[in-house]
Amino acid sequence: MDEIINYIKTWLLYGNADEAQNIGYTDDEREWSKYKLVIVPNHLLGNDIVLPDLKTPRVEQWSADETSEKTVNVVRTDIIYNTFFFISRAEEVINTRRDEHGRFLATYSILNQRNRLMVPTLDEYARMATKAVGLPLPPTGFAHIYLTHDVDTIAHYRHIRGAVGGILRGEWRQVLRSWQDIENDPAYTFPWLIKQDKRVPLAESVFFIKHSFGKGYDYPQYNHHSPDARRLRKLLEQNKVTIGWHSSYYGPGSIERRTSRTNELAIHRSHYLNCSIQTMRQLCELGVTDDFTMGFPDRAGFRLQTSRAVLWIDPEKMQLTELVLHPLLIMDTTLVNNNYMHLDQEEAAYLCQQLIDKVRMHNGDLCLLWHNSNLGTNTYLRALYQQLITELSH
C-alpha cells in the first residue's frame, strides 16, 4: 500500500519524489508537524471501494499550539484516495453496468452525473498540492501532443464485400475509382492526415494497426501482406510516424501476439475503446507499456480526471503496475454519432476548444483520435480536424 501512496504523492507533485516526502497522509495530529502538507484520510486504501467525496478541497493552516512558529497546510478532503479511485478505474469494480459491447460508458459514471467530465479534477489537486509544499507550478502549454488514428480499414471498396455493398448502394463510380487507384478511395486519407499532423511540430503522430481475423465487430480484416497494406506501411515508415497495436474487439488474444510485430505491441489501443480491468491485466501480461484507450466512447472529456499520463493501479489486487495510461480526450465519432453526443460542427468546435484549453492550462498531454475512414464529405470531421490542427500549430 505504501508503494501506491508514495506513487500518488509523487505524481501529484509532477514527479518530484524528494518533495513528496513532505506530504503526510495521516489523521494523527501528533505527526503533522513533520510535514509541509498533510492530507487527512477519509477512507483507507485497501478497504472496500466507495465513491469519492468530490467537494472542492480547501487548504487550512494548522499549528501544534498557539506558541508554535511552524504552520502546516492541511487538506481534509482525501485527495489521495480520490486520485486512486479515478486512475485505477475503481468505479468499474463497484458499478457493473455495461453497454452491449461490454463497455463502461460515461452515461453510467458519477463523472457524467455530477458534470465533472469537463474538469480535470486530479490536475487541480496537483496544482493545489504543488503550491502547498512551496514548489513552482509548471508553465501553461502542452507537455505532449498525441495525434492518433485507428486504422479500422485501409479502404472502403478494395475488398469484395465493400465493393459489392458500394455497388448495391449506387456508389459504383466511387468503387471503380477506388479499384483504379487506392488514393481515390474515401477511406485512404492517410497522406492528408500525415500532412495535417506535421503542421504541429511538437506532436507525435500515432497510427494504430489491427492484427485481428476481421470477423464480427473486427470487420474488415486487412491482409498485412497485400499490396495495399504494404503501401500504407511504407507511407507510415517513410514519414516516421509511430505505429501501435489496435487490439481486437474481442480482446488482446494470443493470435494477435503471434502475428503482431514485437515493437508494435508496446503501444496499444483497444478496438471500440473496449478496455476492461481484465483487459488491462492482459496488457500487463503481454508486456504492453503504453495504452491510449482511456476515454469514454459516448462523451468527450476527462475519463481519468487528469490530462497527464499515469501508471495504472489494479483496484482489486491493489498493485501498482508498469502500464502507462494516456488519457484520450476527444474521439471523432463521439462528437457526431447519433447515439453519443450528436453535436453539430459549431457545438463540436466549441466543446473541443474548451477541453483543449483545460489541458493547456494544466500543462497536460493532449490526445485526439481521428479515424482515417471518417473523413468523407458526409460529416464535418475533416474540416473540424483541420481547424484544430491550425489552432494547435500556432
* Grid coordinates belonging to 264: 508494435
Could you tell me which residues come within 8 angstroms of residue 23 by beta carbon, excluding any fewer than 6 positions away? 9, 12, 13, 35, 36, 37, 38, 39, 129, 133
Cα–Cα distance list, 351 to 42, 330, 378 (Å): 34, 10, 21
- 204, burial (CB in 10 Å: exposed 0-12, middle 13-18, buried 19+): middle
Biggest CA-to-CA distance, the chain? 87
What is the rounded average pLDDT of the residues 289-304?
A: 98
Write the pLDDT tens digit of every residue in 324-373. 999 999 999 999 999 999 999 999 999 999 999 999 999 999 999 999 99
* Grid coordinates belonging to 188: 485512404
Say if residues 224 and 261 touch (Cβ distance below 8 Å): no
Peptide bond into 220 cis (omega under 30): yes
pTM of the model: 0.94
Residue 47: what pLDDT? 80
Q: Is the pLDDT of residue 264 over 70?
A: no
30 three-state secondary structure: helix
Share of the chain above pLDDT 70, in %: 96
Write the pLDDT tens digit of every residue in 30-59. 999 999 999 999 987 878 899 998 889 999
What is the rounded average pLDDT of the residues 218-238?
A: 88
Write the pLDDT tens digit of every residue in 68-102. 678 999 999 999 999 999 999 999 999 999 999 99
